């Protein structure tokens, strides 16, 4: 059965080569206009998990004793909460790491026959508030174009893995000639969508009920693409935000995983501060290299399958500690005053976690989930469910969506709203 094309796929296959969303300008956030400060969401996934004995405290609540890993975040203890007992149900997939696809969607049985991903939580937010910024959402990766952001049709939105390229799209003003070319591409995109729509309508009278359902989904994609084209054209005449920093350097060395993580952690606050986007997802991957970290002599993926070997666990913790140190520095950059004295972090929900609770056994239960900012009352270790009977992670996702101002009481495999 053919999967309906996403709006990005339709435009790409048409030869227009349009990447949505397009280059942006800065607009004042709502907070700057005297209204409620803009709500933002950042979803970060480190795909090989975190070594749980070094992460989870022995007791829950606000008086938890900080662990080896949490000591690295101790300066922000009041800014985040740690969760245990969360997961997505029915995550047995075709391959052990297929849960990477479903961390933000919760679609069941990833990769098995007939599998089709569902919309990711970041895209639910982007569909509701994305028209307020030049980029409806931003998907980032430390390596390659694979992301965890998926459309309602189950199509992956390619990630950006080069900071310099994204920086140019967001902050470097094109020449008048560049703008004319972009406007022409948008006009060509509309013409192609009109043609595709006419050709597809001609099929409607000769299709089965199942095909008609697919055509209806296809027409919905066309309407979404038309809407995006209109919004993109509106941004062409607005200047991009001016930032007083140099174009970031792309790190070509694959072994410098921590350097690439840090590059994105430095750029995310800039994206949010300039209101270029309010919805960001990031995936930390590319683990088939030996990281440039003193004391590490094996690939990250190999070390995650430590088999309780003390030497492998020691090296694994060296890698994970460096990632957490970078995350701590990111949180520090997010507590700078932004709107009327509010910190950027206060209006940004930042989730840092993984699709694996125990990478050694490819176990997708009891996921390590850290939630920072967002205006929540933090400083606690929250245990929900049990190790065997987890609470749906989507219950927390529903809470995040509501915090973004989105009226919903369900998402994915949720069976309620997780309050904490």
Give the model's pLDDT for residue 274.
Answer: 94
pLDDT digits (tens, 9 = 90+) for 129-173: 998 999 999 999 999 999 999 999 899 999 999 999 999 989 977
Contact 27, 240 (CB under 8 A): no
Residue whose C-alpha is closest to residue 97's, from 116, 111, 114: 111
CA-CA distances (angstroms) from residue 40 to 58, 223, 332, 405?
A: 32, 26, 17, 10
Determine contact, residues 290/302, Cβ cutoff 8 Å: no
Spell out the alpha helix ranges (H) of 204-362. 209-236, 257-273, 300-304, 310-334
Structure tokens at 143: 């390596």
**Under a CB-based contact definition with an 8 Å cutoff, are residues 185 and 286 in contact?**
no
Peptide bond before residue 62 is cis, with ω within 30 degrees of 0: no
What is the distance between the alpha carbons of residues 113 and 123, in angstroms, rounded to a whole number?
25
CATH code for the domain defined by 37-173+240-403: 3.40.720
Q: What is the pLDDT of residues 352-380, one digit of tens each?
A: 999 999 999 999 999 999 999 999 999 99
Give CA 366 to chain center in angstroms: 20
What residues contact 206, with CB distance under 8 A and at least 6 apart? none
What pLDDT was estimated at residue 176? 67
The structure tokens 């999967």 sit at 3
At 88, list the tokens: 């997505």
Q: What share of the chain is helix, strand, coil (3-state, %, to 5)?
A: 40, 10, 45
What are residue 226's phi and psi, to 5 degrees?
A: -60, -40
Burial class (CB in 10 A: 0-12, 13-18, 19+), 74: exposed
Q: Which residues sit opposite 337 in a β-bridge?
A: 343
196 Cβ contact list (under 8 Å, min separation 6): 10, 14, 222
Q: Which pLDDT does position 199 carry in this prediction?
A: 60
Check residue 8 and give its pLDDT: 40
- Per-residue pLDDT tens over the stretch 62-72: 999 999 999 99
Low-confidence ranges of the chain (pLDDT < 70): 1-35, 174-207, 209-210, 212-237, 337-340
Q: How many CB atoms lie within 10 A of CB 131?
A: 15
What are 98's two structure tokens?
């297929």
Query: Rounded to whole angstroms, what are the CA distances from 382 to 50, 154, 206, 331?
Result: 17, 32, 56, 20
d(CA 384, CA 282): 25
Residue ranges per structural domain of the chain: 1-19+175-238, 37-173+240-403
Beta partners for 86? 391
User: Do 404 and 125 touch, CB atoms closer than 8 A?
Assistant: yes
Handedness of CA 237, 238, 243, 244 (dihedral sign): positive
User: 3-class DSSP state for residue 338?
Assistant: strand
What are the φ/ψ torsions at residue 401 (nearest 5 degrees)?
-65, -45
Q: Which residue has the tokens 């101002």?
A: 405
Res 174: pLDDT = 63
- The pLDDT value recorded for residue 197 is 59
Q: Is pTM beyond 0.85 here?
A: no
Q: What does the alpha-carbon distance between residue 238 and residue 26 come to, in Å, rounded to a whole number?
A: 8
């Amino acid at each position: 059965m053919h999967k309906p094309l996403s709006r990005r796929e339709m435009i790409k296959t048409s030869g227009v080569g349009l990447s949505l969303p397009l280059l942006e300008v800065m607009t004042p956030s709502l907070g700057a206009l005297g209204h409620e400060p803009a709500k933002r969401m950042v979803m970060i996934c480190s795909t090989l998990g975190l070594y749980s004995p070094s992460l989870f405290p022995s007791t829950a609540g606000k008086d938890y004793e900080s662990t080896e890993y949490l000591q690295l975040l101790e300066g922000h203890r009041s800014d985040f909460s740690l969760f245990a007992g969360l997961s997505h149900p029915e995550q047995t997939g075709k391959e052990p790491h297929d849960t990477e696809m479903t961390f933000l969607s919760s679609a069941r049985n990833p990769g098995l026959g007939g599998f089709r991903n569902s919309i990711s939580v970041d895209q639910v937010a982007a569909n509701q508030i994305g028209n307020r910024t030049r980029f409806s959402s931003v998907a980032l990766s430390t390596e390659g174009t694979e992301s965890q952001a998926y459309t309602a049709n189950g199509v992956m939105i390619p990630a950006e893995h080069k900071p310099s390229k994204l920086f140019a799209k967001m902050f470097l003003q094109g020449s008048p000639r560049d703008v004319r070319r972009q406007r022409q591409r948008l006009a060509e995109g509309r013409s192609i969508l009109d043609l595709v729509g006419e050709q597809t309508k001609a099929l409607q009278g000769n299709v089965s009920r199942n095909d008609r359902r697919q055509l209806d989904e296809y027409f919905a994609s066309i309407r979404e693409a038309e809407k995006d084209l209109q919004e993109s054209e509106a941004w062409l005449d607005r200047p991009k935000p001016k930032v007083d920093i140099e174009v970031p350097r792309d790190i070509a060395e694959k072994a410098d995983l921590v350097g690439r993580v840090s590059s994105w952690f430095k750029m995310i606050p800039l994206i949010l501060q300039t209101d270029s986007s309010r919805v960001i997802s990031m995936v930390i991957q590319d683990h088939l290299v030996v990281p440039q970290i003193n004391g590490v002599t094996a690939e990250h993926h190999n070390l995650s399958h430590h088999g309780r070997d003390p030497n492998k666990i020691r090296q694994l913790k060296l890698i994970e500690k460096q990632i957490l140190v970078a995350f701590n520095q990111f949180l520090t950059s997010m507590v700078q005053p932004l709107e009327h004295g509010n910190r950027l972090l206060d209006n940004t929900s930042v989730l840092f976690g993984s699709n694996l609770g125990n990478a050694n056994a490819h176990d997708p239960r009891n996921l390590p989930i850290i939630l920072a900012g967002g205006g929540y009352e933090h400083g606690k270790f929250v245990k929900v469910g049990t190790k065997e009977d987890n609470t749906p992670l989507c219950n927390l996702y529903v809470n995040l969506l509501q915090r973004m101002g989105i009226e919903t009481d369900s998402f994915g495999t949720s069976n309620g709203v997780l309050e904490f």
